[in-house]
Chains A and B, each alone.
Chain A
Amino acid sequence: MAKGFSKPKNVGKTFARLFGYLRPHIGALLVVAVLLVVNSLSGVLGTYLLKPIFNIASDMFKTGSRDFGPIFRSIFLLALVYVVGVTANYGVNRLLMKMNIQVLYEIRCEMYEHLEKLPLKYFDSRTHGEIMSRFTNDTDTLREMLSNALPNMISSSVTLLGVLVAMFLMNWKLTLLVLGILLVMTMLVGRLTGLSAKYFRARQAAIAAASGYVEEHFEGQREVKVFCHEQKVKSEFGQLAQNLKDAAAKANSYGMILMPIMGNTSYILFAVSAMSGTSLIIRGLMDIGTLAAYLQYSKQIARPINMISQQVTSVLNALAGAERIFDLMDTPVEVDEGKFRLERVGKEQWAWVRGEERIPLRGDVRFDHVTFSYDGKVDVLKDLSLYAKPGQKIAFVGSTGAGKTTITNLINRFYDVQQGSITYDGINVKDIRKDDLRRSLGMVLQDTHLFTGTVMENIRYGRLDATDEECVAAAKRSNAHFFISHLPEGYNTVLTADGANLSQGQRQLIAIARAAVADPPVLILDEATSSIDTRTEAHIEKGMDELMKGRTVFVIAHRLSTVRNANAIMVLEHGEIIERGDHRDLLDQKGRYYQLYTGMFELS
């Protein structure tokens, strides 16, 4: 609802780093610096040139001379100075604009590129909104600083300095007086700014509370409607909006009250200068031209100070934003110390790369005494050992939180094992290039995520060099072809907003086709068919069986019917395998699986 108000931790370091992005534009930057100075000084000089004009004019009045030559010469000079100033001004704007847009683009791209390399942990431990705001709010405030606040501060400082020098040259005593008044005003402003920080923080907190509420209840609109809570929710929000209003009214008042104070300070200086200057003229200690120029300066001097004080907040804000951006960029990326390479050498053929040699991949996966914890405190998996021989189907059954999904997270190294090891064809997964490893592990997740784009593009996501024919073949194999060809535009139907125009089951079918087109030696199905009805599931079963043939498969499922034909079923509880065997063995054991199967025990 308004821009954040926060403090950067290390101004110097952040500035230095930002400057790194400007370095390639150092030539332009130098030109900008020169032009900024030229622009400011031409303003100062322009005013100074008023002095001879007024003096010549009043002398002419006194002497009755009609020689306008000197006046016109001065006017011409003034015009020249002004033209230079305007040109410089345009140059600054143009160069800065181009540079900033480019720099922002680079920062965005770098941030995104880095983001894509971050470990899954980073995403799991933050909300999307938090990450998004690096790309939106933080880059926006940074842009505001680079294109407005900083150049304004620089040119204001130069102007301030130039004006002060000119004023001192004209009359140093009067200037000391002016400075004294300014100092008092500046201190007052400083004090007010200090006070306002508290209110800005309060406003931030109120904004966060209201935004959070809006997000949660807009997303939960169905429940609000179904439970007729519209009135209650409205009044709760009303309270939050009221709090925000109270906080914002104070913050805005304190934040903006500087404007009339500083603005009118220039009139006070103007009045004081006019008074003193005139009495100096009466005493013959000053000429009218000097007073005219001096009065202009006295009006000009407060403005840069005002400017600078206004920009400080936005610079600080932007630096805090920049720190968050750099923070993201500094988050360590996924490490990949893998040496072993894997590649797809043909249809359903993958191989280990050793020099020129290609050793066919078998697809043997082993867990050897694996222990894992997300937070370093609670072990999610405890001393887990298991193996999947090439072509075997291994199923995991257990409650939410038993560690089923964690197992798949470890195989494809979304997270790394802390104790024990996972091997792939006898090679520790840590020694395999991550990209190769993941490419060789096809995944179908419970929450299907599709991307904006056509159905074809979404299937091709599995393997970018797949031809249209291969994509269609994969869709046919996963039984997705039938419904896709009934879509208005068939394979060219554009999916939007996470495939919202499809049913959950249809989306899942596309996700399965996507995995099929990747043609991986190992498949991981994490509740892949949980949202497809059993009849449809039965229909695609043939396709799935086809897909699983010759591949090592890990299946995680709630529905026991989907795991029955697995070579081995692991029953997980609290991170441990409590039972293992095939369907028949487990039923004979009359243990937990039997209880689950007969409905005597509940999975949560």
Chain B
Amino acid sequence: MKTIRRLLGYVGKYKYPAFLTIACMIGEVVFEVLIPKYMALLIDNGISLGDTAYVYRMGGVMILLTLGAMALGMLGVIFGARSSTGFAMNLQNAVFGAVEDFSFKNTDKFTTPSLITRMTNDITNVQQAFQMTIRMAMRSPAQLILATFMAIRISGRLSLVLLCVLPVLAIGLALIAKITYPRFIAMLHRYDDMNASTQENLIAIRVVKAFVRGDYETKKFKKSASDVRDAQFNAEKILILNGPLMTLTMYACILAVVGIGSTHIAVGRMTSGELISFISYISSILISLMMLSMYFMMIIMSSASAKRLGEVLEEVPDIDENRSSTVRVKDGSIDFDHVNFSYSGSDENPTLTDINLHIQSGETIGVIGGSGSGKTSLVQLIPRLYEATAGAVKVGGVNVKKYSSDELRGAIGMVLQKNVLFSGTIRENLKWGDPNATDEEIESACKVACAHDFIMSFPKGYDTDLGQGGVNVSGGQKQRLCIARALLKKPKILILDDSTSAVDTATDAAIREAFRTVCPDTTKIIIAQRLNSVMEADRIVVLDEGRINDVGTHEELLARNLIYQEVYESQMRKEVA
């Protein structure tokens, strides 16, 4: 309920068309409810008076009422569409904005595919539910009340029929909803599982093919598809009782009303016109109930979506981005004071343990370590992509928590292990680093990153379209573009996380040389597999299982550090041979 109220907050200025929709729908119902009344007058008085003119007059009133109802109904549709799509837009913006404010810990919790589903399917579901709400949630009760009122006015005694039948119907519908809801949820879970495994199979199709596991995968899929089928059957076999229950109620009412009503007519307690309009009201009442039950079903179904959206909107960004902070980054010094870190936030399975490291502004630091030794985790703490579990990370002598995230991250250029480029031209992608960069600045950054030459080899140069995810360039080219993009930020700290792995040694060396001359004052942290890439660093940090094993220059480490020696061995041994 709280979630719903929260979501409704995003209706915003679209509440006006929403209210208009409700007003139109109620107006439509009022007109519609009056129609049978005039019809009863028309039939009864017309026949008994034999007055054709009266018949046409009443008929005219009925048609006018209908046209009025039609006009209001159409307006209701238009306002309803405007309001619900506006609501959906606000929701999209809110969810998108919330996700953009997430820290990675938040994102990891939800996973990216799930967030995408929430942004798309779930919002559609909620939008439809909202549209239904403003169109039906007021209209149907209004129809119910007004039609009941009119029915009672015709015959209070006949109306008692409703009193007997409706509770049965209401209980029946509620029971069905109660039983099916958990079954539907179970079904949806199975459905998600099935889709997830299909997706997994698509991603790993090369492996599946290489190991000739097509049949095995198909068998696996059939199992989950049959799970879905069974769960679906389980849920729907109850749900389909809805229709018969509704019709049965409707028929029972009509039977009782016609049976009792016709005896009333026979004894002159009621006129034919009255009974016909009474039947009309009965069907109005039942239709409104049907609508209401459909509406509740829909609300229940979409409440799962609403809940999933609520989760995103209520998720407190794990990292307070301190937007109001005015602390400036003074220089590129970095301090790790007894830092512990784990992705789960608990003390179990720490990724980094007791990291103590002080880096001066302008220093070049190499980081080496085996897979899983915590290199990437270490540098991710600097721009506060994740938060240290214990201890303090400082940039420019100030705890990173004190900066606004824009200020902190604006001062740090980071080239990640997995590089992402976006659809658009090379120039547009480079401008991510600095939206105001001039062509000259872009070019010189690309020259430093050794990217200029290959960019110019493309027919369209800097205006080459990269395609979604940057599919039109090779891995090494992508890495160099990403370096250029980071350089354009003119950062105080530059972090290269294994970001020249696909670039050749010579280019790698050229890029490092360019760094030295172009940005000597920038603190550089280079994570690499190749010792060549870090050998000339001022200091090299050896990480092992989340701890700092040693820090020193190449020569020092070579002389004393066992791990470093082994790495050196593994890479240089053969060259000597």
Contacts of A234 in B (CB 8 A): 93, 96-97, 100
Report the interface size for chain A: residues with CB under 8 A from the other chain: 158
Contact indicator A102/B229 (Cβ below 8 Å): yes
* B385 on interface, CB distance cutoff 8 Å: yes
**Stretch from A10-18, A364-372, A548-556, A593-601 contacting the other chain:** A593-601
Contact indicator A252/B85 (Cβ below 8 Å): yes
Shortest C-beta distance, B277 to chain A (Å), equals 9
Bound-state CA distance A75–B266 (Å) is 14
Contacts of B489 in A (CB 8 A): 227
- Per a CB cutoff under 8 Å, which of B203, B233, B371, B410 touches A533? B371
* B5 on interface, CB distance cutoff 8 Å: no
Chain A residue with Cβ nearest B47: A281
Contact of A237 with B251 at beta-carbon distance under 8 Å, contacts A132-B199, A274-B42, A282-B52 already known: no
B207-252 residues at the A interface, CB under 8 angstroms:
207-218, 221-222, 225-226, 228-229, 232-233, 236-237, 240-241, 243-244, 247-248, 251
Contacts of B509 in A (CB 8 A): 599
* B310 on interface, CB distance cutoff 8 Å: no
* B112 on interface, CB distance cutoff 8 Å: yes
Bound-state CA distance A561–B368 (Å) is 18
Contacts of A401 in B (CB 8 A): 474
Contacts of A601 in B (CB 8 A): 504, 506
- Per a CB cutoff under 8 Å, which of A256, A498, A558 touches B81? A256
Contact indicator A599/B96 (Cβ below 8 Å): no
A317-376 residues at the B interface, CB under 8 angstroms:
none
Contacts of B236 in A (CB 8 A): 97, 101
Contact indicator B62/A271 (Cβ below 8 Å): yes
**Stretch from A27-35, A54-62, A384-392, A571-579 contacting the other chain:** A54-62
Chain B residue with Cβ nearest A266: B66
Bound-state CA distance A533–B32 (Å) is 77
Contact indicator B574/A260 (Cβ below 8 Å): no
- Per a CB cutoff under 8 Å, which of A78, A230, A299, A452 touches B101? A230
Contact indicator B240/A536 (Cβ below 8 Å): no
Query: Which 5 A-B residue pairs are closest in the complex by CB-CB distance?
Result: A505-B371, A260-B73, A275-B59, A449-B204, A538-B570
Contact of A132 with B101 at beta-carbon distance under 8 Å, contacts A60-B266, A85-B247, A267-B32 already known: no
**CB within 8 Å: A-B pair count:** 440
Bound-state CA distance A206–B569 (Å) is 57
A37-59 residues at the B interface, CB under 8 angstroms:
46, 50, 53-54, 56-58
* A22 on interface, CB distance cutoff 8 Å: no
Taken residue by residue from 42 to 58, chain B's Cβ proximity to chain A (1 for < 8 Å, 0 otherwise) reads as 11001100111001101
**Stretch from A170-178, A217-225, A420-428 contacting the other chain:** A217-225
* B476 on interface, CB distance cutoff 8 Å: yes
Contact indicator B474/A218 (Cβ below 8 Å): no
- Per a CB cutoff under 8 Å, which of B59, B73, B217, B265 touches A259? B73
Bound-state CA distance A536–B276 (Å) is 88
Judged by DSSP, the binding face of A is helix
Bound-state CA distance A233–B70 (Å) is 43
Contact indicator A228/B203 (Cβ below 8 Å): no
Chain B residue with Cβ nearest A412: B210
Contacts of B131 in A (CB 8 A): 252
Contacts of A533 in B (CB 8 A): 368-371, 529, 567
Contact of A117 with B214 at beta-carbon distance under 8 Å, contacts A227-B432, A228-B406, A449-B204 already known: yes
**Stretch from A86-94, A161-169, A306-314 contacting the other chain:** A86-94
Contact indicator B47/A282 (Cβ below 8 Å): yes
Bound-state CA distance A113–B217 (Å) is 9
Contacts of A518 in B (CB 8 A): 211
Bound-state CA distance A603–B111 (Å) is 35
Bound-state CA distance A104–B231 (Å) is 13
Chain B residue with Cβ nearest A113: B218
A-B contact pairs, 28 of them (CB 8 A): A57-B262, A61-B265, A82-B255, A94-B240, A97-B240, A112-B217, A113-B218, A116-B201, A123-B205, A257-B74, A260-B28, A264-B66, A267-B35, A270-B39, A271-B35, A274-B62, A275-B59, A282-B47, A299-B283, A414-B209, A445-B207, A452-B200, A506-B372, A561-B570, A561-B574, A599-B504, A599-B506, A602-B450
- Per a CB cutoff under 8 Å, which of B258, B385, B423 touches A53? B258
**Stretch from B113-121, B145-153, B299-307, B441-449 contacting the other chain:** B113-121
Contact indicator B196/A241 (Cβ below 8 Å): no
Contact indicator A604/B474 (Cβ below 8 Å): yes
Shortest C-beta distance, B389 to chain A (Å), equals 18
A252-274 residues at the B interface, CB under 8 angstroms:
252-253, 256-257, 259-261, 263-264, 267-268, 270-272, 274
Contacts of B111 in A (CB 8 A): 497
Bound-state CA distance A153–B369 (Å) is 67
Taken residue by residue from 455 to 483, chain B's Cβ proximity to chain A (1 for < 8 Å, 0 otherwise) reads as 00000000000001100001111000000
Bound-state CA distance A136–B195 (Å) is 8
Bound-state CA distance A399–B405 (Å) is 39
**Stretch from B156-164, B333-341, B412-420 contacting the other chain:** B412-420
Contact indicator B212/A439 (Cβ below 8 Å): yes
